[in-house]
Amino acid sequence: MCGRLSQYRGIHDFVAALSMPNALVNTVGDQPIGQYNVAPTTQVALLHLEGEVLHADLVRWGWRPHWATDKPEQISTRVEKIAHGPFFRAIWPHRAIMPIDNWFEWVYEGGPKKQPYLIRRRDRAPILCAAIGQYPAGGREPRQDDGFVIITADSAGGMVDIHDRRPVVLDPELACEWLNHATPKERAEQIVLLQGEPADTFEWFKVGMAVGNVRNQGPELIRPMR
């Protein structure tokens, strides 16, 4: 995925999509988030469990281990490699959901600039993206090195024409299982490897070039091109 998304609903709308009975600790706020053009390194609303309590916190989109000072920060990781290898070993057990409204991809179709596309669920429900990260827990304050990455998988169907990778999106039941600390690591790996939402869950269409500038915000960015 290219690295741009929208998160404009209120956090309670995203939490309601999970249908979790757990108590909620919300540090994001109760107003609509209102971010139509979110780029990496931005603080993004992230959902995670601490004990039996669901937490909604603003966490930096992007992460690297403390020892990898010579490597670039990552915003995503391939589902095929997530449980294996040293880079994400420390955060693999720390599962989270990044709820979003849509994401964007850019496609070369001739001309001087790539054409942006918006991808969203056909039913317009929140998109529950599987993620792992380092985030406030146990009552500690946020740290400068906190962050998270999205898990991505190969695209399929017509979506591969837009981009060859896409977020691993889970239905509400699987998202709750993914968040649950009681879910074994082997089962969590199976969920993201094999049970992400299929390509026909989504629709995509062209949007205006203004989304290419991260300083632009507003609902006009997510309207179909005419």
CA distances from 33 to 16, 68, 76, 86, 181 (A): 15, 32, 22, 34, 27
Residue with tokens 């057990």: 93
| Nearest by Cα to 164 from 153, 175, 178, 177 | 153
SS (HEC) of 80-148: CCCCCCCCCCCCCCCEEEEEECEEEEEECCCCCCCEEEEEEECCCCCEEEEEEEECCCCCCCCCCCCEE
Residues 6+ apart with CB under 8 A from 222: 6, 36, 101, 102, 118, 207
Helix (H) or strand (E) holding 14, with range, is helix 11-18
* 59, 143 Cβ separation under 8 angstroms: no
Annotated catalytic residues are 2, 105
**Residues 100, 7: Cα–Cα separation, whole Å:** 5
Tokens representing 70 are 């010579």
166 pairs with which residues across the strands?
153
* 165, 1 Cβ separation under 8 angstroms: yes
